[in-house]
């Protein structure tokens, strides 16, 4: 494979403080899509719900070590990571235990830099790290943003879509200014898109008007196969590679590889 020696991983957060907007689906399918096009990928699950872990075929209930231990520095990523055999990437898994980390971290030093520091020793082993953030702008999300080069924002083309972005964009600005000067919005990803709905077309156009090149070309359609895949412990791109949803995520993965090259 033609990659320069010692290329260090590029780190991306999938974030949006709203729940149910497609963060986890995007994280899992991007990880699997990137693996399919030859990238070495680590998926980090920063959500105590552990949906990205389960959707990668890793049982969150049987994790002996997880991201919780990594954030509290009682384990390293090398010790805590699992392999998603079905997805072809590594997983730093999460489960309910992680909900407690939020409280336990508050009093500790470097509380927002824990993930960044933990990733440091494995950065040479991966091309891309994808982080699934919880639906909040919490200390966990802050750890993600402090680790990342870029943020991927999945969004539905609904009426209040742009307004919903304000808090996230402000948080990203603040983190950029105070904690992580590398951080930028890599792009907005339109998900669960239905082109037959006029309103969605309009909001999509609005988004492009507002954010221009920051809107990814790839568009993820509403596709039931993507919603079914997690119950089989598989990313959609593996579960039904021919489905429209899987094809769109593969296209998105290729687009990400191209954007990463531009960053380098």
Q: What is the 3-state secondary structure (H, E, C) of the chain?
A: CCCCCCCCCEEEEECCCCCCCCHHHHHHHHHHHHHHCCCCEEEEECCCCCHHHHHCCCCHHHCCCCHHHHHCCCCCHHHHCEEECCCCEEEECCCCHHHHHHHHHHCCCCCCCHHHHHHHHHHHHCCEEEEECCCCCCHHHHHHHHHCCEEEEEECCCCCHHHHHHHHHHHHHHHHHHCCCCCEEEEEEEEEECCCCHHHHHHHHHHHHHHHHHEEEEEEECCHHHHHHHHHCCCHHHHCCCCHHHHHHHHHHHHHHHHHHHHC
Which listed residue (245, 246, 247, 252) binds ligand ADP by CB under 6 A? 245
Pick the binder of Mg ion from 10, 18, 23, 149 (CB under 5 A).
23
Side-chain-facing half-sphere of 17: CA atoms under 13 Å:
18
Q: In terms of CB distance, is 137 or 192 closer to ligand ADP?
A: 192
Q: Does 222 contact ligand ADP by CB under 6 A?
A: yes
Which residue lies nearer to ligand ADP by CB, 21 or 44? 21
Span of 18-26, 86-94, 96-104, 166-174 interacting with ligand ADP by CB under 6 A? 18-26
Using CB under 6 A, which residues numbered 102 to 121 contact ligand ADP? none
With binding defined as CB under 5 A, does residue 24 bind Mg ion?
Answer: yes
226 in contact with ligand ADP (CB under 6 A): yes
Least Å from the CB of residue 29 to Mg ion: 12
Cβ at position 98, least distance to Mg ion in Å: 13
22 binds ligand ADP (CB under 6 A): yes
Region binding Mg ion by CB under 5 A among candidate stretches 18-26, 103-111, 113-121, 223-231: 18-26
| Of 58-66, 93-101, 223-231, 256-264: span binding ligand ADP (CB under 6 A) | 223-231
51 binding ligand ADP? (CB under 6 A): yes
Contacts to ligand ADP by CB under 6 A? 19-25, 51, 135, 191-192, 220, 222-223, 226-227, 245
């Amino acid at each position: 494979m033609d990659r320069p020696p010692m290329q260090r991983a590029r780190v991306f957060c999938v974030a949006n403080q709203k729940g149910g907007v497609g963060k986890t689906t995007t994280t899992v399918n991007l990880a699997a899509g990137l693996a399919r096009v030859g990238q070495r990928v680590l998926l980090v699950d920063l959500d105590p719900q552990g949906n990205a872990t389960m959707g990668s075929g890793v049982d969150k209930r049987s994790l002996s070590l997880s991201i919780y231990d990594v954030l509290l520095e009682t384990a390293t990523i090398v010790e805590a990571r699992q392999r998603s055999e079905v997805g072809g990437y590594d997983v730093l898994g999460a489960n309910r235990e992680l909900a407690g980390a939020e409280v336990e971290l508050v009093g500790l030093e470097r509380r927002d830099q824990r993930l960044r520091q933990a990733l440091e020793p494995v950065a040479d082993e991966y091309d891309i790290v994808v982080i699934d953030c919880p639906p909040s702008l919490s200390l966990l999300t802050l750890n993600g943003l402090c680790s990342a080069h870029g943020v991927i924002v999945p969004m539905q083309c609904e009426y209040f879509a742009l307004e919903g972005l304000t808090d996230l964009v402000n948080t990203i600005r603040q983190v950029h200014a105070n904690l992580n000067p590398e951080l930028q919005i890599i792009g907005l990803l339109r998900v669960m898109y239905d082109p037959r709905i006029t309103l969605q077309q309009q909001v999509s156009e609005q988004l492009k008007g507002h954010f221009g090149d920051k809107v990814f070309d790839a568009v993820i359609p509403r596709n039931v196969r993507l919603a079914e895949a997690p119950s089989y412990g598989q990313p959609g791109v593996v579960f039904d590679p021919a489905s429209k949803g899987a094809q769109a995520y593969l296209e998105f993965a290729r687009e990400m590889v191209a954007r990463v090259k531009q960053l380098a």
